[in-house]
Amino acid sequence: MCLVFKVSRSGFYYWFSRPESKRRNENVKILETIREIRQSQPKKEVYGALRMLRDLKELGFYCGKNRIAAIMRNNGIRSKIKRKFKRTTDSQHSEVV
């Protein structure tokens, strides 16, 4: 495997035995909490990064919206965007009713 990745054997084993980083562990905890929040909400798919940020801060997680957006994007979590109402009737026409 070291030949395929073109790295030294000692470097590979150092990387392989290295513990997970603090940032990665925090991201995993945030992701689990995001999934719990989505399951507990009646309208599960309308929570975007900003609403998630607000709820996570209430639960004690302090991070930025870009980090939350990246975690959600990388794990395929998206919010449904409500379509804007579009009026299709022209009531100012000059035709006879």
**26, 68 contact by CB (below 8 A):** no
More confident residue, 2 or 63: 63
The mean per-residue pLDDT over the stretch 22-48 comes to 88
Q: Report the predicted TM-score, pTM, of the whole model to 2 decimal places.
A: 0.70
**63, 56 contact by CB (below 8 A):** yes
At 88, is the pLDDT very low, low, confident or very high (cuts 50, 70, 90)?
A: confident
68-81 pLDDT, tens digit per residue, is 999 999 999 888 77
46 DSSP 8-state letter: G
76: which 2 tokens? Answer: 């395929």
Residue 18 has pLDDT above 80, yes or no: yes
Q: What CA–CA distance (Å, rounded) separates 81 from 47?
A: 10
Domain ranges of the chain: 21-81
